[in-house]
Structure 1
């Protein structure tokens, strides 16, 4: 069982159309079927949600196995506590291909006293929390944690780009692909631990020209790192 996740997420601004969205996120889940509870946080580009093409912080949660879900503070799933770090903040420092890199440091963890799940930025900035009463399946921890990219597009439309819009070429192509680095999980004592390599499973689109993911393992100065992303396109939808 896990009690949180942490990572530094490279920040990008993929080009998406009006009803597309591109997300880079980490999440915790527990439960099955309609009883699944899930909490997600990361960055998103979504003209429909945010009414712009900017890269923004976001959270997403579900109480019923994603039959329904809630973004940011559009419902009562997430309680904003920070007056200086809105949960839909624009991220203005964008990584440049083969150039400067910028990251978003986020943590999701369960408070051992209240059992509420908190979202932290930059290690110590409490952005807000998900109340335990709304997510009973997570009160004893998360069976499943993950890091990765997700895109959405309307039916019969091209699939949106993911990450920086490029597939990772090799495990060390940090300036050419989107990545999550310094991956950690939280144990029962609230300590950050390196993830167990034996527990890692990689899930990608079976059409490798659409999207890809590379588990780079532990990299010196970067910690445990995964690279991901891809262009999407006409043949990449469901």
Structure 2
């Protein structure tokens, strides 16, 4: 099964500093047999209430200001390995919302869910009026690829002062049958979809989009706050920043365009930072602006000195 149409995006990575590299992921030569898909064993994950906690969750995001019709959202997320405690998590994601429904995809370090596993993994989160879950733990996301688990290990992650490692995440709606599809990386084939009928409002379209970081802190933890992204607030030091770049949406006409009507938001500006800006891209060796790009810089706990 595949969507009737995949909106076309232009590449942004060639124009960005630090030579960003799209990292490989998936099972490669160890894909599941035809007709089957990779699912993590239940004894490797915690059977927990996956409704996201409200207290002690901190975000640093770019979010749309007012409701609009969105048929997709996409961004390249640089991959990091933030330090977290055993009862904490840290993630970066893109989000498509139409209350009470929302879907997210990105990367996470989540030893709560993965029973002590501190690696950086891809994740999916689904919330509807009736249910919420990670990955494929509830009737929601339908995986169709035999070679890409929804919790794929993401390595190498981006080291401060090193080259960027990133993954391109793309959520879009097949407006003919109202399913929401997920495409990851530069592969033309989506990895799966959310059936439109599981949603109350999101089956019609999205109304808000977000991109950025999220961290859950155990209030009893020592020594202190959970890292987000690279562990540094945004700064002029490009190599220590965490990025959500090439932030675009699919509009009502099913065309890809910049997300323009946004605001930077964090609920803890002492520990975490967020910058939200549209910057020019230049063509070749000239100073002619050929197009623009939406970039979100987020993260923190410690300032770069």
Q: How does 1:19-38 map to 2 (within 5 A)?
A: 19-31=87-99, 36-38=100-102
Unaligned runs of 5+ in 2: 1-68, 283-291
Alpha-carbon distance in 1 for matches of 2:239, 2:73: 24
Instruction: Provide the rounded CA distance (Å) in 1 between the counterparts of 2:280 and 2:76.
Output: 14
1:166 aligns with 2:232: yes
Whether 1:216 aligns to 2:277 is yes
Q: CA RMSD in A?
A: 1.8
**2:201 is paired with a residue of what secondary structure?**
helix
SS of the residue corresponding to residue 209 of structure 2 reads: strand
Alignment CA distance shift 1:53-1:142 (3 Å)? same
Q: Which runs of 4+ in 1 moved over 4 A?
A: none
Seen in structure 2, the aligned counterparts of structure 1 residues 181 and 104 have a Cα distance that, compared at 3 Å, is same
Equivalent position to 1:150, from 205, 208, 214: 214
The answer to whether structure 1 residue 204 and structure 2 residue 266 are counterparts is yes
Match of 1:236 in 2: none
Q: 1: distance between equivalents of 2:265 and 2:220?
A: 23
Post-superposition offset of 1:193? 0.7
Matched, 1:184 2:184: no
TM-superposed CA distance for 1:151, in Å, is: 0.8
Partners of 1:159 and 1:10 in 2: CA distance: 21
Q: Highest CA radius of gyration, 1 or 2?
A: 2
Aligned length: 221
Q: Deviations over 1:4-55 (max 9, x none)?
A: 1011000001111111000100101112xxxx00000000001121231110
Q: 2:66 — aligned with what?
A: none
The separation in 2 between residues aligned to 1:125 and 1:54, in whole angstroms, is 26
Give structure 1 stretches of 5+ with no counterpart.
Answer: 233-238
TM-score normalized by the length of structure 1: 0.87
Which position in structure 1 is the counterpart of 2:6?
Answer: none
